[in-house]
Amino acid sequence: MRWPSFVRGPGFAGWIIAVAALLLAVSWALKLRDIQHLQWQVALTEGKLKSAQDLWRSYPPLEPEKRGDLERSQERLFRSLPREKEIPALYEEISRLAREFNLSEVTIGAEDQAVKPGAEKGAAPASPPRVAPAQAAAPPPGPSEDSSPIGSFAVKVSFSGDYREIAYFLEALRTIPRLVTVQSLDLRRRVPVVSAEIVLRSYYQKGNLPGGTK
């Protein structure tokens, strides 16, 4: 049995060439579209970069008046700090507030020296506040501040009272005539009172501000 033979004439070859050309044209069109899209993304990125650079170059510097206000505020804050650590004076201020708000079992000292109120088992709160004597030795320094004109040191304060007294005491710490921040606060319930332990950080002048501020 003989299979039919297909005669491949000039028309068939032309059809094959046309199909191949069409496929090649479609492939190039897709590649061209991808290239154009990539070029558009590059142009968009370059435009954003140029806009950012123009904004950076055209952004006006801080006005002398505003710069002066900032410098004066910095100087006022710096000058409000004591020139020495003045540890006994700070202890006395804290002790005064503790007495004012009827806190008991009060101890004040360096962060690693203050005695916790609940250290003795079964200890009952005394009616008058019991304040530990101010330590003459300086507490251990805080983080390294060699390059900073401002120094600081930590103070641990332990005491007992009710929640209201403790809240008033913490609020009153803001009235101390020196910059003091609360680093940590630990409250423990002890019937009929609450034991508290706070770590304060006090700041003082250690040098001069950059630019010769005194």
Same domain, 118 and 194: yes
Question: Residue 46 belongs to what domain range?
Answer: 13-57
Question: Which ranges in 121-160 belong to alpha helices (H)?
Answer: none
What's the pTM?
A: 0.50
Q: What is the tens place of the pLDDT at every residue in 150-201?
A: 888 999 999 999 988 999 999 999 888 888 888 999 988 887 888 999 999 9
Same domain, 100 and 191: yes
Same domain, 53 and 130: no
Domain count, the chain: 2
Residues in contact with 105: Cβ distance below 8 Å, sequence separation at least 6, in sequence order: 117, 123, 125, 126, 130, 158, 159, 160, 195
Higher pLDDT, 82 or 29: 82
Same domain, 52 and 88: no
pLDDT at 44: 73
* Position 61 confidence tier, pLDDT thresholds 50, 70, 90: confident
Q: What is the tens place of the pLDDT at every residue in 76-121?
A: 777 778 888 888 999 999 999 999 999 999 999 986 554 443 343 3
pLDDT at 191: 78
CA distance 106 to 133: 10
Same domain, 40 and 136: no
